[in-house]
Structures are given as C-alpha cells and as structure tokens.
Amino acid sequence: MSNQNYIMEILELKDNNIHFYENCYYKEKMKGFDCKVFEGYLSYQPTHCYKCGTPFDDLFDKHGFITSNIKLPNVSGFKTILRLHKQRYLCKHCNKAFTLKSTLVNFGCFISNNTKWHIAKDLLKKRSEKDIALDNNVSSNTVERVMDSYYDTTRICKNYLPRVLSFDEFKSVKSADGAMSFHLCNDESGKTIDIVEDRRLFSLMKYFSYYSYQSRSRVQFIVIDMYSPYVSLILKMFPNAKIIIDTFHLVQLISRSLNKTRIQLMKKDKKNYNKLKRYWRLLLKDYNDLNFEVWKRFTCFSSLMTESDVVNFILNLSEELKNSYYLYQRLLSAFKSKDKLSFLQILNENHENISDYMKTSLHTLIQFKDFILNTFDNHYHNGFIEGNNNFIKVLKRIAFGFRSFRRFKARIMICKGLISHSKKVNT
Ligand SMILES: [Zn+2]
C-alpha cells in the first residue's frame, strides 16, 4: 500500500481526489493545543462551471489554490486537521473563478462530515452536549445543528398505539408548560412511545385527539398511578381500555401514610423519639417477614430482643399507630396475594381510631376501587416506565439540566433509539 492509501485509510477519507504530499504530516500548535496536521491538495477536472453551468472546455484555466483547515475526528487523542489546498478554476465564459468541491466537507464548511458522523454517534450515548462538543473540538451550537440535521425529531407515528399502555409523569425543564411532563410507554415491550410537555388534562386531550379513533380503540389496558385526570382522560379518549392501578403506587400510598403517622407520634413522644426514628424500616416490613427467632442487641434498647419485639414495643406506644399498622399490614398482604375478597372487606369495614393520614389513603383506595380490582386480575405494572423515567433523570443530571423542552425531548428520544437518523451513521 502506498503512503497515500495508508493515510486515506487511517483518516477514513473516501474522496479519491484528495492527494497528499511527500512530507504531508507534521505537528503544530493551534490555540495552545498540539495538533496533528496532514497536508494535501484537492484537484480534479470539473464537469462544468459552478457559477454559470457551462460544460468543461478549453476556456477553463487553473487559477491557483485556496487553503482551508478541515477538522477531522481525533487521532490517538490529538486534535487532527487536514490542511487542504483546493484547486480553483477560472471560467472565461462568465469570467468568474470557483473552487472545487469535496465529498469530505459541505460547501463553505470547515467541519468534516466524518466529524459530524462522530457527533451523531456520540449523541446516542448518555453524555452532555458540552462534553460531546469538547471531544470533537466543535462548539455546542454545532452539536445542536448536527442533531437537527441527522435526526428528524418532529416525526412520531400517530397511527398506531399498542395494546397495553402505561402513563407516568416526570419533572422536566423549567421552561416547560405545566410543572410535570407526561410520559407514554408501551407496557409490553417497555419502549417509550412519546413525551408530552404538559400533563394537564386539556393538553393531553388535545394530544390524544391527534391519534385516530381506530388506534385509540385498539388499546385494551392502561396502567396509571392514582392521578385522577388520567382517569377522566381514559374514559373520554380510550373507549375499550381498562384502567389498572400500578401495585407499586398502591403500596407507596399506604406506606407513606403509615410513615407520616409514625413521624407525627415521634414529634409528640420525645422520650421514645430515637426508637421511633431508627426502626421505621421494621414497621414497613411485612409482618410475616419479621424475624422472631434471633435474639440480638438493638441500639436504643437495653435488653436482647427480636425484630418482632421491637415492632411490638413501638406499636404499644400509641393505639392510633397500632390500628394504622394493622390496617397497613392487611392491605399489604391483600395487594401481595391479589386477594380481592379481603381487599373489599377491608374497604367495607368501619375503621376506628386510625390516623388521619391513613383515613385519607383509605378514601383514595375507595375512590379508585374498581380500577384496583383490575390490578388484581392482570399482571401489568409500571416497572418499565419507572425505569425509563430514571433514565431521563440521569440524562438530565448529566447535562446539568436542559433549557428547552424540545431539545430535552429530542435527546431522550435519540438516546432511547426511538428516532433513527435520517443519514447513515457509521457504527
Ligand atoms: Zn462560468
């Protein structure tokens, strides 16, 4: 292989009209950085005049060179420049000069298409745009421009919705309308379908009205948390869908109210403050999983005890906490064993001397009763969408926040592989 071919291969250049000189490689300091510089020239016979379009003939004269420094992707961690002398021609038909074009760079651009490919590839990773810009020696505006040119961020298919959907929300950017943004996910494949800026009812109604009636009526199950606007939305927009309340949110609802009850008591009972504070996890644990055999020393307690002893001690401090705790445990076991009958029985009973927090939760459970019964019959859950939400949070933290919602959404969709690039990106 000749020198020329080696360089072409190493720098991944595909334009055969670029030729390299004998001593074409040297190092140079540019803006305080050591750069690898490759020097070559671009020359070929043009087919026509770029200014007037006349086909090439004897009236075309070579007219010197123009030099441009073209940014290439880094080689061995060094900034790399191709110093290209481009042949100019003078057309005597129109008396104008023009410069030859190369497939390596777009006309009037100093950033090679290889670098742009590299940026487009980097956009698929969980990285901030600023880091991508630094690594590729370009500005962050260039990264944004590449994102817009390589990925069509506006196109989302509105003709199809899967059989099982799940809804959730997450805190998006400050400039977004509404405090929370809405996240729509396919619950069987776990893939994000779309993200909507505002989760309020009117905005979601408008959004789903873009989908055809056929696609909306195809949806059979929708998993949600206990946010009542979603219920009104589903009843209006999805004629055949059954609402399922996510089990995790059910458990979260009751465990939060038990925790609040404990904290309320903790603030009143200064004597047992530390005990109430330290063993919150044991209270939330399923009663059947508590250890009642192993005797050990617990901090704040003087004698040897088992886990269930600690729980019993704490429960004996307050009647209200005790009743709330037993209600919590019964609900928990009903949710775990998907026991419809005992769940309905708990809701129909008259609960006395339970905390206000627990009463509120019970009221919420009664309000969503019909949908919770659907949960017992089906195995769908919000696991995938919560995982996706976590990914979004990580992406947001890595970027130190996003200013515009459009860009934030585009990044999420690109990283999740939901928007494919419109041009070929080398992988
Ligand atoms: Zn011309």
Tell me if 120 is assigned to some domain.
no
Quote the ligand 1 centre to 54 CA distance (angstroms).
6
Exposure on the CB side of residue 73, measured as CA atoms within 13 A: 16
> Can you give the pLDDT at residue 259?
92
- Looking at the fold, whether 281 and 304 belong to one and the same domain comes out as yes
- Looking at the fold, whether 361 and 302 belong to one and the same domain comes out as yes
- Mean pLDDT, contiguous 10-residue spans, the chain (427 residues): 84 89 88 90 92 90 92 90 93 92 89 91 88 90 87 73 90 80 88 87 91 91 90 92 90 92 89 87 88 86 88 89 91 90 90 89 91 89 88 87 83 79 51
Quote the ligand 1 centre to 89 CA distance (angstroms).
9
> Can you give the pLDDT at residue 257?
93
- Looking at the fold, whether 212 and 225 belong to one and the same domain comes out as yes
- Looking at the fold, whether 171 and 258 belong to one and the same domain comes out as no
Quote the ligand 1 centre to 60 CA distance (angstroms).
8
Report, in angstroms and rounded to the nearest whole number, the Rg of the chain calculated over CA atoms. 33
Quote the ligand 1 centre to 63 CA distance (angstroms).
13
Query: Distance between CA 125 and CA 415 in Å, rounded?
Result: 6
> Can you give the pLDDT at residue 366?
92
Can you give the CATH number for the domain in which 199 is found?
A: 3.30.420.10
- Looking at the fold, whether 281 and 365 belong to one and the same domain comes out as yes
Quote the ligand 1 centre to 59 CA distance (angstroms).
9
> Can you give the pLDDT at residue 42?
93
Quote the ligand 1 centre to 42 CA distance (angstroms).
20
Task: Answer whether 91's CB lies under 8 Å from 97's CB.
Answer: yes
Quote the ligand 1 centre to 136 CA distance (angstroms).
37
- Looking at the fold, whether 172 and 283 belong to one and the same domain comes out as no
- Looking at the fold, whether 232 and 301 belong to one and the same domain comes out as no
- Looking at the fold, whether 97 and 42 belong to one and the same domain comes out as yes
> Can you give the pLDDT at residue 158?
77
- Looking at the fold, whether 257 and 367 belong to one and the same domain comes out as yes
Quote the ligand 1 centre to 94 CA distance (angstroms).
4
pTM of the predicted model, to two decimals? 0.76
Quote the ligand 1 centre to 49 CA distance (angstroms).
5
- Looking at the fold, whether 241 and 252 belong to one and the same domain comes out as no
b/e per residue 214-247 (b: at least 16 CB within 10 A): eebebbebbbbbbeeebbebbeebbeebbbbbbb
Quote the ligand 1 centre to 50 CA distance (angstroms).
7
> Comparing C-alpha atoms, which of 325, 361, 366, 357 is closest to residue 253?
361
Quote the ligand 1 centre to 104 CA distance (angstroms).
24
Tell me if 153 is assigned to some domain.
no
Quote the ligand 1 centre to 185 CA distance (angstroms).
57
> Can you give the pLDDT at residue 421?
67
Quote the ligand 1 centre to 100 CA distance (angstroms).
13
Quote the ligand 1 centre to 96 CA distance (angstroms).
6
Domain housing 393: 164-246+388-415
| Total tally of structural domains belonging to the chain | 3
> Can you give the pLDDT at residue 426?
41
Query: Distance between CA 121 and CA 49 in Å, rounded?
Result: 36
DSSP code string of 261-288: HHHHHHHH-STTHHHHHHTHHHHHS-GG
> Can you give the pLDDT at residue 98?
92
> Can you give the pLDDT at residue 423?
56
- Looking at the fold, whether 252 and 373 belong to one and the same domain comes out as yes
- Looking at the fold, whether 241 and 317 belong to one and the same domain comes out as no
Task: Answer whether 178's CB lies under 8 Å from 200's CB.
Answer: yes
